[in-house]
């Protein structure tokens, strides 16, 4: 119920997320900023089954680290997905690609220590440095 549509800029990668999206999160790390052009604001999904493509011929994956890869459209260049190579349950979908309902809140910012001074996201929420974020993963045994 309530599938959310998503697509790249040209539309050749088109998909639906069959998931309840209650919030989005932002990553300010240098890699995400190079990849998206600024903060990577994503809806995080905990089930790979939630992603259903209607078109994915131009979708390509770039292995950005030992543990993750990033999906993009090879025709228009849109940054779309971040996934862990050893945990196919986790998927972060670029919020800009999604037709999200209004009223969603941004609940967490990570790698705040890598955010440049020329922008800031308003509002009160946890803002974790890279070290704090990595420590929180160890503590919760949750992978992002
Ligand atoms: Zn495209
Ligand atoms: Zn990042």
Look up the CATH number of the domain holding residue 133. Answer: 2.170.150.70
**Closest C-alpha among 2, 3, 1, 11 to residue 97:** 11
Mean pLDDT, rounded, for 69-93: 94
**Closest C-alpha among 13, 65, 72, 67 to residue 37:** 72
Own/partner pairs for 81-84, CB < 8 Å, 24+ apart? 81/51, 82/32, 82/40, 82/42, 83/48, 84/143
- pLDDT of residue 139 exceeding 60, the answer is yes
Residues with CB under 5 A from ligand 2 (ion): 27, 29, 32
Residues with CB under 5 A from ligand 1 (ion): 8, 10, 12, 73, 75-76
Residue-averaged pLDDT of the chain: 94
State how many domains the chain has: 1
pLDDT of residue 141: 66
The mean-pLDDT minimum among 52-56, 78-82, 89-93, 116-120 falls in 89-93
Ligand with smallest separation from the Cα of 109 = 2
pLDDT of residue 142: 53
Ligand 1 centre from 135 Cα, in Å?
Answer: 36
Ligand with smallest separation from the Cα of 74 = 1
The whole domain housing 128 covers 4-140
Ligand with smallest separation from the Cα of 128 = 2
- pLDDT of residue 69 exceeding 80, the answer is yes
Q: What is the pLDDT of residues 94-137, one digit of tens each?
A: 999 999 999 999 999 999 999 999 999 999 999 999 999 999 98
């Amino acid at each position: 119920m309530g599938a959310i549509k998503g697509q790249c800029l040209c539309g050749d990668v088109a998909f639906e997320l069959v998931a309840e999206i209650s919030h989005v999160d932002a990553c300010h790390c240098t890699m995400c900023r190079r990849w998206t052009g600024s903060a990577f604001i994503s809806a995080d999904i905990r089930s790979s089954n939630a992603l259903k493509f209607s078109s994915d011929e131009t979708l390509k994956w770039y292995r950005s680290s030992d543990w993750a890869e990033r999906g993009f459209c090879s025709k228009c260049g849109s940054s779309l997905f971040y996934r862990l190579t050893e945990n196919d349950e986790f998927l972060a979908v670029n919020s800009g690609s999604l037709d999200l309902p209004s009223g969603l809140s941004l609940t967490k910012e990570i790698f705040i220590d890598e955010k440049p001074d020329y922008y800031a996201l308003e509002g009160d929420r946890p803002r974790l440095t890279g070290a704090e974020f990595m420590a929180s993963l160890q503590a919760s045994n949750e992978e992002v």
